[in-house]
Amino acid sequence: MKIVYSWLKDFVDIDVPVEELADALTAAGLEVASIQKFSIPEGVRVARIVEREKHPGADKLSVCKVDAGGPEPLTIVCGAPNARAGLLTALATIGTTLGPDFTIKKAKLRGVESSGMLCSQRELGLSEDHSGIMELPEDFKVGEKLSAYYPDDSIVEIEITPDRGDCLSVLGVAREVAARYGLPLKNTALFPVEKSEDQIQKSISVEIEAPEGCPRYTGRLIRGVKIAPSEEWMQRRLSLAGLRPINNIVDITNYILLHFGQPMHAFDYSSVTDKKIRVKRAGKEQTFKTLEGIERKLIADDLLIWDG
Residue 308: what pLDDT?
Answer: 82
Residue 122: what pLDDT?
Answer: 87
Domain CATH number, residue 32: 3.30.56.10
Q: Are residues 224 and 87 in the same domain?
A: no
Q: Based on the structure, what is the number of domains in the chain? A: 3
Q: Are residues 100 and 53 in the same domain?
A: yes
Q: Is residue 164 in some structural domain?
A: yes
Is residue 2 pLDDT above 80, yes or no? Answer: yes
Q: Is residue 188 in some structural domain?
A: no
Residues 6+ apart with CB under 8 A from 95: 43, 103, 104, 105
Q: Is residue 195 in some structural domain?
A: no
Is residue 182 pLDDT above 90, yes or no? Answer: yes
Q: Is residue 20 in some structural domain?
A: yes
Q: Are residues 136 and 169 in the same domain?
A: no
Mean pLDDT of all residues in 166-189:
92
Q: Is residue 166 in some structural domain?
A: yes
Residue 206: what pLDDT?
Answer: 93
Q: pLDDT tens, 274-292?
A: 999 999 999 999 998 887 7
Q: pLDDT tens, 92-115?
A: 999 999 877 889 999 888 889 999
Q: What is the average pLDDT value for the chain, to the nearest integer? A: 92
Is residue 91 pLDDT above 80, yes or no? Answer: yes
Domain CATH number, residue 95: 2.40.50.140
Q: What is the pTM of this model?
A: 0.79
Q: Are residues 210 and 287 in the same domain?
A: yes
Q: pLDDT tens, 216-264?
A: 999 889 988 999 988 888 988 998 998 888 899 999 999 999 999 999 9
Q: Is residue 159 in some structural domain?
A: yes
Q: Is residue 194 in some structural domain?
A: no
194 falls in which pLDDT band (50, 70, 90)? confident
Q: Are residues 49 and 123 in the same domain?
A: yes
Q: State the residue range of the domain holding 284.
A: 200-307
Residue 154: what pLDDT?
Answer: 96
Q: Are residues 114 and 95 in the same domain?
A: yes
More reliable by pLDDT, 125 or 178: 178
